Every structure is written in structure tokens, then in C-alpha cells.
Amino acid sequence: MADKQLTKIQEIERSIIKTYRSKLWSPFIKALKDYEMIKPNDKICVCISGGKDSMLLAKLFQELRKHSDFEFEVSYILMNPGYNEKNLNLIKKNLDILGIPAEIIDTDIFNIANNVGGKPCYLCARMRRGALYGIAERKGCNKIALGHHLDDVIETTLMSILNNGIVQTMLPKIHSDNFKGMELIRPLYLIREKDIKNWAKRFDLEFIRCACRFTEMTENDEMVSKRKETKELIHELELKNPVIIKNLFMATSNINMDKILGYRKGEEIHSYLETYDDIKNNDSK
């Protein structure tokens, strides 16, 4: 039984490097290099939620450790915010199938978030993020790796535009405001969700869809509803234009400052009128 299990783990790991090299491994490496996410002697906390994205993230880091040309450390953490027994057992089963040596750290975040009132999903997300930072800090890590993929990036960008009137995106890495020296990185930044699903389907892997045990309530949560609507909108657009995701992503780093009404830099708000007459004067010379 052990040999058969080991064989499946090896097959899964080999698929990342070979079968899904162009869809998973290559964009993973490209994101790490393009956005300078990892440096020698980093200690990275890879956070596993139990879903397909974070599980793949852990496997990619395991492979990276084998092939990297410099030293860095990785801790695999599953922060249990209060999963029901069925979800927790499924997560443990997948950790075993995939050969991921994750440490499970129990918390009571789900109960706290649900009993405080207001928006439990928003509060839960904030509490989980804070708990992860705390865990990573105690373990001496300087970076936290999360499993956000390219579709998350595009959805977040469109949600900001359509619902808040702000042009902003989900960045590949950010500094923590509250934990000095800590960075959050998103190594799946260039990987499509559909390619993660195809990888999971290839090995008949079943993952939890939502970490929250109050999933039945989340359809009424405004943020969840808006993300679902945005996902559907992007799908419809992509059916008409297959390169829509690529173009939307490129637009976030290809903003023509001469053709926008204004922009914000920190607390400062700027208008195109600030340089409007300068452009006229330059044209008349």
C-alpha cells in the first residue's frame, strides 16, 4: 500500500514538471523571477487553506526546493479556523495523498467571526490573515505565500472598477503594515484557474470549495456575490474574445498616464489638469 501511495505522489510531482510544465511550473517560475518574490535565505510560510490552489502551491514549492540554485526554507502551515469534521478529514486526506508535511494549527476564528455580528465573511478573512501573519512571525518566517492565481487578480481588478470606481489590482507581493519585515507573496500570480482544475481532475483530487463552514450563508454576502457575478462576466467576455484575460492583465501595467483623468499616489490625488497647460505650451514651441 505504501509503495502504491508513494508511486502516486511521484506521478503527481512528475506531472508538474513535465505534463503541466507550460501551464503550471513555467508560469510559477516566471512569477517568482519577474516579481523577485524569493531571495537566498528567505524563510517562507506556505499557507494551505485546503483548496486546490493552496495545495498546488505547496507542491510547487516542494519541487522548487529540489531544483532551486540557492538556499531558502519553507514551512507548510494549515491554519484550522474551525473546519467541520468532514472538511478537515478531506484536507488531511489530500495532504497525505500529495505528500505535503503541513503542520495543522487550530484556532476558533469561524465561531468568533460568526458571533460578532455584521459581515462574518469579511471579519473572518481579516482574522485569518492576521492569524497567519502571527504564526509566520513566531516561526521566524519573513514571507507568507498565498494561493491567489491569475483569475483572482483579474476578478479583483474588475470588481474595483465596476463596484468601487477605482483602478487597482491585486499585487504579486506586498509589505505587511503591522508585521515589520514580513512580505506577502503570490507565486500563482500568472497561473490560470482552469489549469489548476485540469491538474486536480487528472488525478481525481477532490478539494473543499470553501474553507468556511458557513458556506451556505455566503451566497448572500455582498462581496461573495459580486465576485461570483464578476467571474461569470469574465467567462462571457472570454467566450467572445479568448485573449481578454491577457489584455486585462497587461492593462494593469500599461497605463497611459497622458490619457487618464487623474490618479492617486498614497494620500495625494492628482488631476490631468495639473499638466494640461504645460502640454499646450510645449506643443506651441
pLDDT digit string (tens) for 71-90?
Answer: 999 999 999 998 889 999 99
> What is the pLDDT at residue 120?
67
For 107-162, the pLDDT digits (tens) are 888 888 777 766 667 778 888 888 999 999 999 999 999 999 999 999 999 999 99
Q: Check whether 215 has a pLDDT greater than 80.
A: no
> What is the pLDDT at residue 223?
67
Q: What is the mean pLDDT of residues 264-272?
A: 93
Helix (H, G, I), strand (E, B) or coil at 119: coil
Q: What is the mean pLDDT of residues 13-41?
A: 97
State the burial class of residue 46 (Cβ atoms within 10 Å of its Cβ: 0-12, 13-18, 19+): buried
> What is the pLDDT at residue 210?
64
Enter the C-alpha cell of residue 253. Answer: 501595467
Query: Cell numbers 507542491 label which residue?
Result: 59
Q: What is the mean pLDDT of residues 165-169?
A: 94
pLDDT class for 182, splitting at 50, 70, 90?
very high
pLDDT class for 282, splitting at 50, 70, 90?
low
CA distance 113 to 121: 8
Q: Check whether 284 has a pLDDT greater than 70.
A: no
CB 207 within 8 A of CB 94: yes
CA distance 268 to 177: 19
Q: What is the mean pLDDT of residues 199-204?
A: 96
State the burial class of residue 212 (Cβ atoms within 10 Å of its Cβ: 0-12, 13-18, 19+): buried
Find, among 195, 175, 176, 173, the residue nearest to 186 by Cα: 173
> What is the pLDDT at residue 1?
44
> What is the pLDDT at residue 115?
73
Longest dimension (CA), the chain: 81
pTM of the model: 0.89
Type of residue at 129:
R
Find, among 121, 36, 35, the residue nearest to 70 by Cα: 36
